[in-house]
Amino acid sequence: TLFSGILGTGHHYYWIGAPGYWQWIGSLFSTLEVAPFFTMVIFTFVMTWKAGRKHPNRAALLWSIGCSVMAFFGAGVWGFLHTLSSV
């Protein structure tokens, strides 16, 4: 997310008079920012499934699963939708 986010800010350069190709570069790399968040969600569910036993602190387990899912939707999906230059 960090590395794609660096070039993903390129869609902001349009407003300071930079060439128009920065808008396309920024949009392209903004779409790549979703992938690490999706991978984090998959990793969370796989590790929970592999544990295979009832967790003694169910609230903490649900909290960690919920944090990864909400980060995916908040920073991943909705962040992706509002950073597209065509929107």
pLDDT in tens, 22-38: 878 877 887 888 888 89
What is the per-residue DSSP string for 44-72? HHHHHHHH-S--S-HHHHHHHHHHHHHHI
Among residues 77, 80, 14, 72, which one has the least CA distance to residue 43? 72
Mean pLDDT confidence for 47-51: 89
Least confident of 9-18, 33-42, 49-58: 9-18
pLDDT in tens, 58-81: 899 899 999 999 999 988 888 778
pLDDT of residue 86: 60
pLDDT of residue 8: 76
| The one-letter amino acid at 11 | H
Among residues 25, 24, 19, 33, which one has the least CA distance to residue 7? 25
**Residue given tokens 């992706």 in the structure block:** 80
Parse the chain into domains and list their residue ranges: 2-83
Euclidean distance between CA atoms 81 and 79, whole angstroms: 5
Take residue 25 and report the two structure tokens written for it: 């570069």
